[in-house]
Amino acid sequence: MDTTLIIIALGSFFAALVNAALATGGIYILLLTSMSVVPVTSAIALQTVFSAGSLLARIVLFWRHVRWRIVGFFMLGALPGVGLGAWGFVSLPERSLTLILGCVILVLIWLPKSRQPLQSRRAFVGIGTTHAFLGTMLGIGGVLQAMILRTDLNRMAITGTLACSMLLLDVLKTSSYIGLGFSYTNFWPHILAASLSGIAGVYVGKRISHALPERVFRLAFRLLVSFAALRLVYLGLTS
């Protein structure tokens, strides 16, 4: 079997497991894993379909916890954000995308949590624009995940609301990449492997979510992602 498929399947499994167990964070694993075996621009475009199986499984499992008002405001802002992000995606060279992506990941992964909870749901319009812009251009937004953790939602509501928002956004992003000429059919074995392993990862992650020592896991996760992000910065500066 092609080792590329194995790496992507494993990355998708562990990304989905982390998302189901901790509500967020798996996108870093999936993106960095993909970038290790396919070109940066292809990895960015493929994130939308690689994560589809995982997102669908989370929506099914956490459906009754979804906060639809947040989803609606987020998508309202995401519409112009996707267009702006698509412009950046085709305008910036791969070296610049790699460097910017590494820096953005480092900022997002170490951004301190605010102790002041986010009260207004309308704030998710601006969050949607910013997240969609970064997510379409770099493959990872991170803004929605960071801000929704500052609401008063519990873990179940965060997981379901994130999954629904991200899936709807990925539909828009996929359409924009196709419009730019990216061909997903060339990667159908990778998409199938990522989807199936992602579904499996969600079910495993939900089962072990209550047994994980969250503080230790989050620290180890941050260190691992930071190492990979620093490598992207290095490649962006030296390539």
Per-residue pLDDT of 72-95, as tens digits, reads 999 999 999 999 999 999 888 888
Q: How far does Cα 238 stand from its chain's mean position?
A: 26
- C-alpha 173/C-alpha 132 separation (Å) is 8
pLDDT, average across residues 103-124: 75
Higher model confidence: residue 210 or residue 141? Answer: 141
Q: How many CB atoms lie within 10 A of CB 238?
A: 8
Higher model confidence: residue 81 or residue 146? Answer: 81
Residue 76's domain comprises 3-238
Average confidence score pLDDT of the chain: 86
Give burial (CB, 10 Å; 0-12/13-18/19+) of 20.
buried
- C-alpha 5/C-alpha 34 separation (Å) is 10
pLDDT of residue 20: 78
pLDDT, average across residues 185-201: 92
CB 49 within 8 A of CB 174: yes
Q: How many domains does the chain have?
A: 1
pLDDT of residue 183: 93
Q: How far does Cα 2 stand from its chain's mean position?
A: 25
- C-alpha 81/C-alpha 42 separation (Å) is 20
Instruction: Give the global pTM.
Output: 0.81
